[in-house]
Structure 1
Amino acid sequence: MINPSSTALIMIDMQNGFINEASPLCVAGAKKSIPACRRALKYARKHAVSVYHIVRRYAADGSDVEPCRYDTWKDERPLSNACPEEIGPSEPAELAPLAGEAIIVKPRFSAFFQTDLHARLQRQGIDTLLLTGTTTPNCIRSTCYDALSYNYDVIVVEDATSSRNEDVQRANMEDMAFIGARIVRSVDL
C-alpha cells in the first residue's frame, strides 16, 4: 500500500535527447515506456503524490559528459544548449512538468549525486520513492541503490523504465529486487 503523502514519483531523464530516435543518445526502449510513464504520472497527480522531474543537461563544451557517452555526444551535442530543440533537453508534451512539480538537473547517473534531492525529500517527509524513466542499468539503478542507502522504500515501476534491450532490463530488475526494491507495473499503482 502506498501512502501518497509520504511518497514521491521520481521521473528520470524522460527527455527528447534520450527518447527521440534522431538523437545519438537515444535509448532503445525509452519511447516505448512513455505510456507507462504517463500512467504513473497520472496516478501521482490524481493522488497528490509529489513529482520530481530529474533531467540531464550537459555543458556546451562537454566538460560534464560521462566518459562513456562523450564520443557519441561530441558531434551533435544533444542535451545541451548547443543542440537543436527537437533532440534537446525538453520533455515530450505528455510527460512535461506541471506547475509546482520539481525539476532537478543532475550531473551524473544518480538523481542523488550532487543534487539537493535527498534534502527536498526529507523536508517533505518522503519515505517512499516510485522510480520511473531511463535508463534502467544506469540512472534508475544508481538512483535505486542511493535511495536504499538513504533508507527509502523504493518501488521501481518496471514498464515505466527502459534499457537498451530486454535482457538488460530483466537482469537489472532482478538485481534491484534482490537488494530490496519492490518491482511493480504501472497498471498496478
Structure 2
Amino acid sequence: MTTAFRSTEKLTPAQQYGLVLVDLSVGFTQPSLSPLGAESDAVVAANQRLLAAFRERGWPVFFTTVVYDTPEQAAVFREKLPSLNVLERGSPLVDIDPRVAPQADEVVIEKHWASGFFATDLAAQLRAAGCDGVMVTGLTTSGCVRATAVDALQHDFRVVVPIEACGDRDNAAHKANLYDLQIKYADVVSLHYALQLVRGRAATDVDWL
C-alpha cells in the first residue's frame, strides 16, 4: 500500500495537465551502463501507465534529457557532479529508455541543468498546448524531479507528483523530497489518484491510499 503525503492545503485540479517525464533516459534507468543509473523497473512501469492514460485522453506529453555538447555547458554543475560528463551528445545514454519511447508528436526537451524549465522553452510549450497543470515524474526525486516540480509551480502551473512514478538512488532522499514537495510545492499523490485525474474521474482523499 502506498500512502501519499498530506499537507493542510490541496491544489484545485487543473483543467488540463501536461505529463513531464524527467530524465527517463538510459543514463538514469540502466545502472549497468551508467554511473548515474539506478534500478528503476517499477518507476518505468508506473510511467508506462501514465503515458497510456495521457495518450488516450489526448493530453500533451513532454520528456526531458540531459545532454552536453561542450565542456563549458553547465560547467559548475558538472564540477559538482562529474558523473554527468557521460551524457554527451551521440551517447546512447542520453536517449529516452525505449520502454517509454516518445511517439512522433511528443517533445523531448534537452537540458543542461536540473530543472526541465531552466533555460528551455518547456513553460511556453505547455501553455501553447493549453496546460494549466503538470504531472512531474521520473528520475531522480531529490534532483531533477524536485527542481522541475518547484519550477513548474514558479511558472504558475498546478503540480502533481505521482509517488510510484518517481525514483532515486537514495531512498531516504526520495522520501524526504516527496515530503518537502507535498508541504510546499505540489500535490504528492498515489499513481491511482493521478490516473483518476487524467481520466476525468472524481478523485477523493480515499484514492490517496
TM range (shorter): 0.7 to 0.9
Structure 2 CA distance for partners of 1:148 and 1:126, relative to 1, 3 Å: same
Conserved 8 A contact 1:39-1:187: no
Aligned mates of 2:185, 2:88 — CA distance in 1: 35
Match of 1:13 among 13, 17, 23: 23
Q: What does residue 162 of structure 1 align with?
A: 167
Q: TM-score, normalised by structure 2?
A: 0.78
2:188 pairs with 1:176:
no
Structure 2 CA distance for partners of 1:80 and 1:47, relative to 1, 3 Å: same
Conserved 8 A contact 2:149-2:185: no
Match of 1:23 among 34, 46, 49: 34
Aligned mates of 2:158, 2:144 — CA distance in 1: 17
Match of 2:128 among 123, 127, 130: 123
Conserved 8 A contact 1:134-1:163: yes
Conserved 8 A contact 1:60-1:82: no
Structure 2 CA distance for partners of 1:29 and 1:158, relative to 1, 3 Å: farther
Q: What does residue 200 of structure 2 align with?
A: none
Q: What does residue 86 of structure 2 align with?
A: 78
Q: TM-score, normalised by structure 1?
A: 0.86
Q: What does residue 45 of structure 1 align with?
A: 55
How many pairs were matched up? 180
Structure 2 CA distance for partners of 1:117 and 1:183, relative to 1, 3 Å: same
Conserved 8 A contact 1:29-1:165: no
Q: Gapped runs of 5+ residues in structure 2?
A: 1-11, 196-209
Q: What does residue 69 of structure 1 align with?
A: 81
Which secondary structure state, in structure 2, belongs to the residue aligned with residue 130 of structure 1?
strand
Letter in 1 for 2:152: A
Match of 1:107 among 105, 108, 112: 112
2:159 pairs with 1:147:
no
Letter in 1 for 2:81: R
Letter in 1 for 2:175: R
